[in-house]
Amino acid sequence: MKILYNLEELEIAKNEYKQKSIAFVPTMGALHAGHLSLIDRANSVAENVIVSIFVNPLQFGPNEDFSKYPRDIDRDINLLKSKKVDYLFCPNFTKDELLKIKQISAEPELANILCGKFRKGHFDGVVTIVNYFFELIEPDYAIFGEKDYQQLKIIEAMVNNLSLNIKILAAPILREASGLAMSSRNVYLNQSSRLKADEIYKNLSSISEEIRSREEIQGIINSYKEKFINSGFELDYLEYHWSRIFIAARIDGVRLIDNMPA
């Protein structure tokens, strides 16, 4: 695995890989088995795999966890070495530098619901960095996890709107044995909040089953909203879109998201 720290090193790598098919896996590091499954997917479609690790300041709001977002590049590099990864791109762009690149707006219809209501500007920051990395790397494929399903939809729309010649592939959510969706932010959970977090998967599974059998979606959702709130969750949303049930909830100050078909 070659590690590319800046644009000059990426340019040299591009000369090496330009004849090959390339699958790109963008990440913010703090890698876990979910990311590794995206890398497997990438290897199944292309000759070369490029992973990026970059905690993108543009997608964090002023009161969010940008400065304390988990960062451990040595651990991440070791994990990546357990897979076939041809290149790791880990630049250190500053926010000021990123404000000078082409700023992209996320499709408002997709970006103003769910997480977009609670994280103003978040998806603009995501599409801006993803488009920039697409321009720099020029992949044939890019892999995104369904854990961030809204992000996936927004990136698909961006690729469509900008007529980019990149195939976006979705990879399913990986879960802990308890059902908790794998996330870099799970490291913020202590033992008791982790136990409580397991209720998310249990309840989403029940909601999904009930929606499939009864079809009175709003009534079902309202009763589970109450259930979550009564067991101590601060709920940002519990909503149904794209034939899936979506949740964002805070447990002991840690914000978790999840979704599943329903």
> Which residues of this protein are in contact with ligand PAF, per CB under 6 A?
26-28, 56, 59, 126, 129-130, 148, 151
Cβ(175)–Cβ(181) under 8 Å?
Answer: yes
Question: CB 195 → ligand PAF: shortest distance, Å?
Answer: 26
Rounded CA-CA distance 86/21 in Å is: 12
Residues 6+ apart with CB under 8 A from 39: 25, 49, 51, 80, 83, 84, 85, 143
Pick the catalytic residue: 32, 35, 122, 241? Answer: 35
| Residue number with CB closer to ligand PAF (160 or 192) | 160
Q: Is 127 helix (H, G, I), strand (E, B) or coil?
A: helix
**Minimum CB–partner distance for residue 149 and ligand PAF (Å):** 11
- Rounded to whole angstroms, the Cα distance separating 218 from 222 reads 6
Closest distance to ligand PAF from the beta carbon of 133 (Å):
8
Please say which residue, 22 or 220, places its beta carbon nearer to ligand PAF: 22
Name the residue nearer to ligand PAF (CB basis): 17 or 24: 24
Q: What is the CA radius of gyration of the chain?
A: 19
- 122 catalytically annotated: no
Active site residues: 35
